[in-house]
Structure formats: C-alpha cells, structure tokens
A and B are shown apart, each in its own frame.
Chain A
Amino acid sequence: MSDAEPVTWDQILRLVSLLDDGELTEASIRFGDVTVEVSKGGPLTGSRPEASRPVPSPAASPAGASAPVAAGADAVLPSPGTPVPAPIIGVFYRASSPGADPFAVEGDDVDADRTIGIIEMMKMMNPVTAGVSGRLLGFAVADGQAVEFGQPLAYIDEAL
C-alpha cells in the first residue's frame, strides 16, 4: 500500500451509500495505489479490470468513459459533506416564492436551524433546515424538483 492510507471498509461503504442515495450511478476512487470502482445497476462505463494502473490524463480517457466522476488521480471524489435529507416527500423549492431570493446559496455558512429550502406537500409548506452547522457545499436537487423522503437535498461541510 506504499505510504498512502489504506482503504477502509467505511470508506467503501460510504461510497456505496452515495450510489444508493441516487446521487451517482458510478464512481471511481483512488486510495494510494488502490482504485475502487463502484457502479449501480450495470457494468462501469469506463471500466478497466486492473486494480492498479497508470493514471491517464483526462484527455487520454477512453471515449466511452462518460462517468459523472472520471477515473484518475485528479478525479478523487470530492468530500461530499453531510447530506441534508428531505424530511418529507414533496416538491423542493429554494425560495419562498418564484423570483424571491433563495433561502441559501452555495458557500453560505449555515447554522443547524437555518432554513435552506421548503418542501411543498399537498399544498402544505414544510421548511427544510440544514440540520448541521457548516458551509453549504451545494444543492443536489433542482428548484421545483419532486423529491422522496430521505433524498439528499444539499451537502454541508461540517469541517469548519
């Protein structure tokens, strides 16, 4: 494993749970000289059998590699932060009304009780709070998108 950190089961399981949450359909992550590739519901589009191989430059990627996260040393999965799960099924909105300022934008430092959006469920508005304090890394769903219970809506970096 050279001098890099060894892969832990927790890290792999976290990757798998990201796929389960519907965020990604496939991902490749490199821990030192070990590359873990995971895919949901089929073979990896950019799949290569070797666990360890020369790192290609992005330009040299195979034409078929259309993975959301391309393989390679520079494609290490960014820390996704802590997900903000949908507290209820419904339609997610980032602002209180069309044209109004969004409750929160990427890069905002938020407190746990900060409202970052609302979910409309049968004409009832349910506020979505950040749940944890940190920096809002970004939203995982679009404004006006229908979401399921527990679906990640946004990610927050708690490491501040």
Chain B
Amino acid sequence: MSAERPVVFVANRGEIAVRIVEAAHRIGAEAVVGVSVADRRTLAARRADRTVVIGPSAANASYLVPELIAQAAIQSGADVVHPGYGFLSEQPRLCELLEEEGIAFAGPRPETLRAIGDKSSARAVAVRAGVPVARAESLPDAADAQDVIRRGRSVGFPLLVKAVYGGGGRGIRLARDEDELLALVGEAEAEAQAAFGNGALYAERFYGAARHVEVQVFGDGKGGVQVFGDRDCSVQRRHQKLIEECPAPAIDEGRRRLLHDSSRALVRELGYRGAGTVEFLIDTRSSDIVFLEMNARIQVEHPVTEEAYGVDLVAAQLLLALGRDPELPDVDPVPPAVAIEVRVNAEDPARGFLPSPGRLHLVDFPRGPGIRVDTHVESGDEIPPFYDSLMAKLIVRASDRPHAVAALRSAVQRTRVDGVSTTLPVFDAVLDHADFVAGAVTTTWFGEMWEARDRVAEEG
C-alpha cells in the first residue's frame, strides 16, 4: 500500500461522491472517482485527482457491476474503495472481490452484509441481541391462500408485505385485512422477483401512526461500538425521507437509552465494522419501539449527525478501512447542537414528484453560520436522467430546535435553482406547519398534509 499518500477509489456518484472526495483529501489521500460516460464531467470528477470511466451511462452496466468497480480500483492503484450509499454499498460481492485483491472496503465485512442484508436474518440477529422487534412471519407461496391467511392473522392487521431481499423502501405494500392480503400477495411476489431477483416475502405488523427514529453507530470491527445519537426521519413521502434531524425531538430519556443500548448490542453482536444505522419505529399510540432494519452503510442523512456532534463520519470510515485510528470522540447521547437537513430533489412536487432532470442554468445556495450544503451541482451542470433525483442536501445547525427550524426556513428561501423543478416548495410548507414546528410527526403525516393541501388548492 502506498503509505505516504493512500489512494481512495470512489465507487459512487452524485453528492456522496463529492463528499467522499472531500473526506479523502481531508485525510491526505488521493481521490479517484469511477465514473460512467454520463458522469465524466461531474463535480465529483472535477474535484477528484483522477477519474476512470468504468462503463456506459446506465447504472446497471456501470455503477452496479462489482467486477467493473474492482477492476477500476485495481487499475487506479486504490488502497480503499468507498461505496457510498445505494449502488453496491451493501453488496458482499464487491467487498469480497476487493479484499481478494488486497484492497480495503470502507464498509462492513461481507458476512455482516449477508447477515443483515436479508431482512429475516437481520431480524434474527436483532432478536438474539435483545433488540425489540415487530411481530412478523415469512409468507408462503401466493398459491397457498390458506397458509397466507393463517400467517397474516398471526401477525395481526394492518400489516406490511415486504420483499425479503428488498431495500430502500421499495416494494412495500399495506394490507388492512385478509382480503387485501390475498389480493396483493401474488403481485408483490412477482414484483419482488423482478426487482430483487427473489420473490420471497414476509409480513410485518404495521404501525399506522409511528415515528421513524434511527441510531448512528460506528463499530471498530472487533466488537467495540460508538453511538452517535439518533435521528428522526419521519417526514417521508412513500417511504422516501424528505427531512431528517439530529437529535430526534421529544424522546424521553428512558426510550432514548433503550434505542441506543439496543443498537449498541446489535452492533456488538455483529462485530460490526464502520458506520451503520439501526432503524426503529416508535408507535405513537403504544410508545412501543420496534426494530425496522439495519443499514450497513453511510446514509444520505449522515450530515445531521456530523453537524450536531462535530464529527466526520466519512473520514472515519476511510481511516478505519486504512487500518488507522478513525479519530472519533466518545460523545453524549444527546448532542450539543441541533441539526436539520432537507433533501433538495430534482422533482416536481406539483406533478406528483415526477423526476425533473435537465440543465441547471443557475444554482445558488445560501451561506452563513451553521449552514452546510452537500451537493454535486453548480450552475451549468446537468441532472442526467439515468440516476436518482437527489441534487443537494441543505443542512443547518443551531443551539436548539426552534432556532434550527427558523434557520432552515430562511436557508430554503434563499436557495435558488433555475432550470429544473425541485422539492424546495415542499419545505416552505413543512417548515411553516404547526405540526412540524411542534416536533414528533409520524411517517404518514407528510403524505396526508400534502394531499390535503392539494385538495384545498383544487377546490380553492
């Protein structure tokens, strides 16, 4: 390994690729970005020391092929590959290919990825670690209607049907009763087969009014665990997060301790290596806490934790992978500041959040105390149609939540994007809303609020 200036290979695109390039430079490493044809001149490519064209624009022929990433990493003389989030970040295959070549993977070990990548096995690990879980059952073949109903009853209605090998909130369906369950299970099976290459399904008790709260962890790979507080990510649209904040508001000390202790136990049980997130639902009626899943990667919303605690989780991932001290301090369960993030997506909220790719004539983000912008676009750049619509994350930090909400409201209003539609108008509505200002909304709140707003607009 090139001890003097290690080489970091970035196996991702978009804002997280820029973020990893910055972290690589921060630790004194050289940054090489693997790009598709469409991404040859992106901000990440411009900021990188080198780029390598790994394949054509379509992600399934470039960013999603582990062999191409491994080959590009070898050709680049990489010491470590950072997979970002999405794409191959939780694929054991990439990790294995790299480790065979003596290249470090900035993520968990392949066996950990397997253990928690399959949701039923993740659940089993959680149970073993004493983490509270929702009642769930695996579902048999759709043809066996009687058994489907029997298992549905055992879970209790309403329930969610999920793909065992699914992820990212995709392919999840709600069944309020037995008839609905029977009606959707065949289609869900076909969809899971098409999307994830495996039609296996399971049913899990659905909490209709719940908050999404998650815990940021960092494991040393030997059972040592550090917990970096929690985040609330309840403002979601169709299971896609829109706003995240650290710490989660309105959590009493006892429940916070349960969340953190459960996460610590799970991570220790796994001998987990690197950054990860343990996701929970908190039922607002019963106050029950249940384990949702563990994400074995850096997450989109990691900046709120970084800002609230003043740490650099991406640099820590790289340092740990390079066999160095990740230089993370031990912190309190509640951070000294409050940070909130909005995801600025190139989508048109007035047209059902339809993706809105295109050329950005002008992009102007606010600056000022406590403002951070993680983005991959500048004026003149393009949002290509091949990939996800995340354009920028606008993050603010303040001494308390009311000040953070006010600062974010102002930052959103001062952000200018010309050329594509964005989700910015959504945040004007959310940040002014009394429910959000009060804190602790549920995961269905945004959808209902937005629909009601649309109805008023139509009638008005």
Contact = CB atoms under 8 A, between A and B. Distances in A.
Q: Do A and B come from one complex?
A: yes
B37 interface: yes
Interface stretch (A35-43, A107-115, A133-141, A147-155): A147-155
B134 interface: no
Contacts of A122: 67, 70-71, 97
A121 B68 contact: yes
B24 to A, nearest CB: 20
Given A89-B72, A89-B75, A150-B37, A121 B55 contact: no
A88 interface: yes
B360 interface: no
A75 interface: no
Interface in A86-141: 88-91, 121-122, 124
Interface string B154-168: 000000000000000
Interface string B70-96: 111001000000000000000000000
Interface string B42-82: 00000000001111100000100001101110010000000
Contacts of B72: 89
Q: Which of A88, A91, A149, A150 has the most CB of B within 10 A?
A: A149
A149 B71 contact: no
Given A89-B72, A89-B75, A122-B97, A149 B54 contact: yes
Interface in B118-175: none
Nearest to B56: A149
A92 B16 CA distance: 31
A89 B70 CA distance: 10
A89 B53 contact: yes
Given A121-B67, A122-B70, A89 B97 contact: no
Q: Which of A89, A124, A148 has the most CB of B within 10 A?
A: A89
Q: Which of B52, B54, B68, B71 has the most CB of A within 10 A?
A: B71
A124 B67 contact: yes
Contacts of B54: 89, 148-149
Contacts of B68: 88-89, 121, 149
Given A89-B72, A122-B97, A149 B67 contact: no
B60 to A, nearest CB: 14
Contact of B53 (A121, A124, A148): A148
A73 B67 CA distance: 47
B75 A149 contact: no
A38 B53 CA distance: 23
Interface in B15-55: 37, 52-55
B53 A146 contact: no
B54 to A, nearest CB: 5
B71 A150 contact: no
B67 A151 contact: no
B52 A121 contact: no
A146 B72 CA distance: 9
B105 to A, nearest CB: 15
A5 B75 CA distance: 44
Nearest to A148: B53
A150 B67 contact: no
Contacts of B67: 121-122, 124
A124 B56 CA distance: 19
Interface of A: 88-91, 121-122, 124, 146, 148-151
Interface of B: 37, 52-56, 62, 67-68, 70-72, 75, 97
Top 4 A-B pairs ranked by shortest CB distance? A148-B53, A146-B75, A122-B67, A149-B53
Given A89-B53, A122-B97, A146-B75, 18 more contacts: A88-B55, A88-B68, A89-B52, A89-B55, A90-B71, A90-B75, A91-B75, A122-B67, A122-B71, A124-B67, A148-B52, A148-B53, A148-B54, A149-B62, A149-B68, A150-B37, A150-B56, A151-B53
23 contacts: A88-B55, A89-B53, A89-B54, A89-B68, A89-B72, A91-B75, A121-B68, A122-B67, A122-B71, A122-B97, A124-B67, A146-B75, A148-B52, A148-B53, A148-B54, A149-B37, A149-B53, A149-B56, A149-B62, A149-B68, A150-B37, A150-B53, A150-B56
